[in-house]
Structure 1
Amino acid sequence: MKAKGTFLTSILLTAIWAFSFGQKGVEDGSQWGHGEDSINCLKNYSLYREYARLNNYKDAYPFWTVCFNECPLASKNLYIDGARMFKDRIEKETNPEKQQALIDSLMLIYDQRIKYFPKDEGRVLGYKGLDLLRYQRDNLDVIETANGFLKKSIQFSQHNSSAAVLATFMTSSITLFRYERMPADRVVEDYALVSEVLDKAIARDPDERDLALVKNNVDQNFAACGAANCEALIGLFGPQYETNKTNGEFLKKVTDLLDNTGCKDSELYRKTAESLHKLEPTAKSACELARLFKEINQFDKSIQYYNQAIELETDPKERSRYYVELGDITFREKNDLPRAKQYAMKSAEEDPTNGVAYLLAGNIIASAKNCGENELEKKALYWLAVDYFVRAKQADPSLEETANQYIKTYSQHFPDIETIFFHGYKEGDAYTIECWINETTRVRTR
Structure 2
Amino acid sequence: MSSGTAACKLNLHPDNGPRYGADSAACVMNLSLYREFYKQWKQSKYKNTGSLNDALKSWRWVYSNCPKATENIYVDGVRMFGYKIKKEKEASLKQGLIDTLMLIYDQRIKYFPVHYKTKKPQVGKILGRKGVDYYKLDPAKNYLETYEILDDAIELDAENAKGPVYIYYFRSITKMAQKGDTDTTMVVDAYDMISDYVDDNLTKYEIAGKSKESEEWLNIKGNIENTFEPFANCTDLVRIYQKKYDANPEDIELLKKITKLLDKKDCIDSKLYFNATVSLHELAPSPESAYLIGKMMLMDQQYNEAVPYLEEAIKMENEARAYKALIFLAEDFSKLNQNVKARTIALKAAKLNPSAGKPYIIIGDLYAASANKCGDDELTKKVAYWAAVDKYKKARNVESVLAGSMAQRISRYQKYFPPTELLFFHNLNEGDSYKVECWINEVTKVRAAK
What TM-score do you get using the length of structure 2 for normalisation? 0.49
Higher Rg = 1
What TM-score do you get using the length of structure 1 for normalisation? 0.49
